[in-house]
């Protein structure tokens, strides 16, 4: 930790000498919050800041960035492409949590300091640590936590751990955040409880998931209020007693269905509340906030996500909420598509090919969600076509990682063998490969994952 903080101060020293800075960041929730943290910290330090969002950093993108002739601060990406960056850009720093290709002095990255970048520190929490070295930026802790939750860094244990937990602790101590032991379902702030349960598919709740009547009856059978004074009650409107009843009944159902204890722990873990945000809005709960952000930049509307992070509660916020409807529809259609086309199992992996029916920018989210019904003993590989070729998203489980699976390493090998590029984390990785090479890619990946499981 000491070494990481020391590096943060060194990088802050480098930034302090620059006047014009280009922040380059990723289009997901972690990337948007990282970019917003960097932008705000630099603006407060009186710098001239520009920001650029990228889907991925291939060598053409790196060349375009180099053409801007500005000092560059890469956030939530860069470490996986550090060789290309070093070749093309002379003045830059990186705050990222992806597995670094090589170690350099200008990267603040948990992996370099002995931490895991898939659950101990996100792009946003890494960037926040640097922001604090630049100036008084403690209030940006809420964005840091939204980013970490957006990257599912709390999903292994149902709570943030490692250095993320230190960052959270600061936010709690300074009165910006509350960490609450609570059911970890989506929509606690904004959805009627019966809808929240109906829309929960991970884990699948028999008789409740996808079943409005069933969900309603479940609540009624427990004596939990569904409606009062002509309005549907949300989770936050229920009494502690009602919440306890629902939670223990869900736990009982899962135990009776032989769900592993670790999965149950993840469901009744922690929720993170942004204390300065209005109760009952997407912005109040880190999980809902991060989904709102994913609904923006992944659809090319990064300005909207950035504006919301920087405090827009008017036009930008309204636009984000309408994009969220669209995002939810797309995720639900994505899951329906998998149901139709099926998941094909190979020896060590399983896959589905969405063609152009799922956007390449959300295929990774859908791949992760598919674990609610896919075989949890094999990594899920998903393909979606885009204009550059085929986007690959891969997801594993914590148990698979503990058994030796490292998706970033496996994907990198398989992608490079077929003329593509890839990387990421042990538990989640991605690549772009040339069209038509999917079968060859799968064959290699199946073999490499098999080898990882043997070692």
Which residues sit at the interface with Zn ion, rule CB under 5 A? 30, 76, 123, 151
Quote the CA–CA distance of 326 and 279 in Å, as a whole number: 23
Query: What gap in Å lies between CA 146 and CA 285, rounded to an integer?
Result: 8
Q: Which is nearer to ligand C5P, 142 or 393 (CB)?
A: 393
Taking the C-alpha atoms of residue 359 and residue 159, their distance in angstroms, rounded to an integer, is 29
Q: Which is nearer to Zn ion, 151 or 438 (CB)?
A: 151
Contact between 51 and 27 under an 8 Å Cβ cutoff? The reply is no
203 makes contact, choosing from Zn ion, ligand C5P, none, with CB < 5 to 8 Å by partner type, with none
Nearer to ligand C5P, 125 or 155 (CB): 155
Residue 2 CB, nearest approach to ligand C5P (Å): 25
Which residues of the chain form contacts with ligand C5P (CB under 6 A)? 26, 28, 30, 56, 76, 80, 98, 118-119, 123, 151-153, 155-156, 364, 368, 393, 395, 421-425, 427-432
Segments of 86-240 assigned E as strands: 92-95, 107-108, 177-181, 227-228, 231-232
Q: Residue 226 Cβ, how far from ligand C5P at the closest point, in Å?
A: 32
428 binds, among Zn ion, ligand C5P, none (CB under 5 to 8 A by kind): ligand C5P
> 163 or 246: whose CB is closer to ligand C5P?
163
CB of 426 to ligand C5P, least distance (A): 9
DSSP H or E stretch at residue 421: strand 421-424
CB of 444 to Zn ion, least distance (A): 26
Between 35 and 123, name the residue whose CB sits nearer to Zn ion: 123
CA distance 49 to 444: 43
Q: Choose between 123 and 379: whose C-beta lies nearer to Zn ion.
A: 123
Residue 432's binding partner among ligand C5P, Zn ion, none (Cβ under 5 to 8 angstroms by kind) is ligand C5P
d(CA 247, CA 268): 8
Sign of the torsion formed by the C-alpha atoms of 438, 440, 446 and 450: negative
Partner from ligand C5P, Zn ion, none binding residue 395, C-beta < 5-8 Å depending on class: ligand C5P
Give the whole-angstrom CA distance, residue 89 versus residue 106: 12
- Dist CA 353 CA 332 (whole Å): 16
Instruction: State the nearest-atom distance from the C-beta of 123 to Zn ion, in Å.
Output: 4
Smallest separation (angstroms) from ligand C5P to the CB of 228: 36
CB 98 within 8 A of CB 117: yes
């Amino acid at each position: 930790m000491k070494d990481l903080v020391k590096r943060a101060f060194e990088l802050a020293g480098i930034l302090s000498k620059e006047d014009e800075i280009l922040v380059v960041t990723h289009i997901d929730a972690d990337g948007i919050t990282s970019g917003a943290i960097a932008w705000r910290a630099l603006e407060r330090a009186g710098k001239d800041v520009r920001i650029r969002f990228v889907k991925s950093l291939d060598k053409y993108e790196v060349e375009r960035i180099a053409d801007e002739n500005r000092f560059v601060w890469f956030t939530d990406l860069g470490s996986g492409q550090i060789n290309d960056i070093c070749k093309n850009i002379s003045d830059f720093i990186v705050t990222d949590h992806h597995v670094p290709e090589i170690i350099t002095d200008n990267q603040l990255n948990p992996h370099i300091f002995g931490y895991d970048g898939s659950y101990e520190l996100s792009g946003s929490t890494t960037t926040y640590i640097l922001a604090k070295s630049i100036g008084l930026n403690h209030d940006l802790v809420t964005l840091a936590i939204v980013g970490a939750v957006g990257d599912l860094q709390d999903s292994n244990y149902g709570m943030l751990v490692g250095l993320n937990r230190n960052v959270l602790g600061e936010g709690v101590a300074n009165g910006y955040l509350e960490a609450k032991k609570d059911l970890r379902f989506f929509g606690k702030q904004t959805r009627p409880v019966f809808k929240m349960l109906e829309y929960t598919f991970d884990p699948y709740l028999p008789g409740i998931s996808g079943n409005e009547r069933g969900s309603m009856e479940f609540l009624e059978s427990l004596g939990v209020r569904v409606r009062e004074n002509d309005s549907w009650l949300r989770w936050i409107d229920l009494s502690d007693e009602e919440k306890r009843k629902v939670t223990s009944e869900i736990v009982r159902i899962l135990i009776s269905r032989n769900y592993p204890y670790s999965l149950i722990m993840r469901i009744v873990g922690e929720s993170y509340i942004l204390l300065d945000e209005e109760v009952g809005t997407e912005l109040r709960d880190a999980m809902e906030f991060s989904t709102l952000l994913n609904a923006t930049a992944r659809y090319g509307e990064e300005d909207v996500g950035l504006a919301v992070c920087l405090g827009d509660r008017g036009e930008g916020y309204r636009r984000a909420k309408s994009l969220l409807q669209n995002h939810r529809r797309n995720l639900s259609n994505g899951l329906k598509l998998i149901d139709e086309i099926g998941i094909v199992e190979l020896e060590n992996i399983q896959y589905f090919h969405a063609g152009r029916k799922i956007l390449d920018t959300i295929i990774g989210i859908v791949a992760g969600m598919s674990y609610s019904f896919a075989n949890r003993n094999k990594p899920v590989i998903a393909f979606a076509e885009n204009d550059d070729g085929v986007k690959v998203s891969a997801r594993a489980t914590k148990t698979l990682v503990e058994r030796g699976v490292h998706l970033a390493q496996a994907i990198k090998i398989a992608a490079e063998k077929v003329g593509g590029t890839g990387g990421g984390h042990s538990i989640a990785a991605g690549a772009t490969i040339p069209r038509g090479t999917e079968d060859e890619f799968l064959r290699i990946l199946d073999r490499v994952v098999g080898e990882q499981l043997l070692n």
